Amino acid sequence: MKPRVIFLSGSFIVFYKPAGMHTVPLRSEEKGTLLNWALKSFPELGRVHGKKPVEGGILHRLDEQTCGLVLAARTQCAYEALCEEQRQGLFVKQYQATVKKRSVPLEGFPPPPSLPYKTDFTIESAFRTFGPGGKAVRPVAQEKIPDKKTLYQTKVLKFSLAKNQEAANTDETRKVICSLTRGFRHQIRCHLAWLGWPLTGDVLYGGEPNGSFNLKARAITFFDPDSGKKTKFKIS
């Protein structure tokens, strides 16, 4: 699939990014990203001073193999307002993933957190880089982090955990819905792998190789910087 515009206003744009495309250039000379594509029709995105010069008005990144919704600001004023929403935890991103049970623990992971057997729960940790070139990350358990500001939360909204250990170890595939307000690189992928449920196809975190992994940014919720009204965009 190709990138496309989901919604266009005077102050922001909601894009769809397909899997296999970087959100923004990792280097100034890189081409073929969502931002490069968007700048052809919306050059004003490049005039916004973002977190890094190569990011323009893009508010958040998706991994290369993650598809879904990306929010961008068309003006500096809108960008600053939306960044403030991010700092206050008012910008909510919701993801859909397909996961498969893994019985063998992955290297570098601490013991998984004890979670209640219910349909919704929160995974919380800090992160550290891991592996050759720091390509992966690993969770750092909450009790080892003195500064709680470094903790990142993944809320699992729909995931029916098994009611007993025997059922929990079965080799099954499930759909999971997660949300977060503040994200770290590979956060959802790492947190689900920590629980023993890596994304299908995500070999970096223990998933079985089957092409690209299945993770979609399916919804974003924020307050319109012009009207102040709560706004939500969702794709199926």
pLDDT digits (tens, 9 = 90+) for 51-99: 888 999 999 999 999 999 999 999 999 999 999 999 999 999 999 999 9
Domain regions of the chain by residue span: 4-88, 95-215
pTM of the full structure: 0.90
Give the angle subtended at the CA of 48 by the CAs of 230 and 188, to the nearest 5°: 55
Beta strands per DSSP E along 80-229? 92-100, 121-130, 136-140, 152-158, 173-180, 215-223
The pLDDT confidence band at residue 229, using thresholds 50, 70 and 90, is very high
Convert the pLDDT of each residue in 194-214 to its tens digit: 999 999 999 999 998 876 788
Question: Is residue 68 within 8 Å of residue 216, measured between CB atoms?
Answer: yes
pLDDT score recorded for residue 165: 43
Question: Which CATH fold would you assign to the domain 4-88?
Answer: Pseudouridine synthase (3.30.2350)
Contacts of 6 (CB under 8 A, 6+ apart): 14, 15, 16, 69, 233, 235
pLDDT score recorded for residue 116: 67
The pLDDT confidence band at residue 147, using thresholds 50, 70 and 90, is low
Taking 90 as the threshold, does the pLDDT of residue 115 lie above it?
Answer: no
Residue type, 70: V
Residue type, 203: V
The Cα–Cα gap between 33 and 58 comes to 12
**Pick the residue with more confidence: 5 or 150?**
5
The pLDDT confidence band at residue 191, using thresholds 50, 70 and 90, is very high
Residue owning tokens 């500064």 = 147
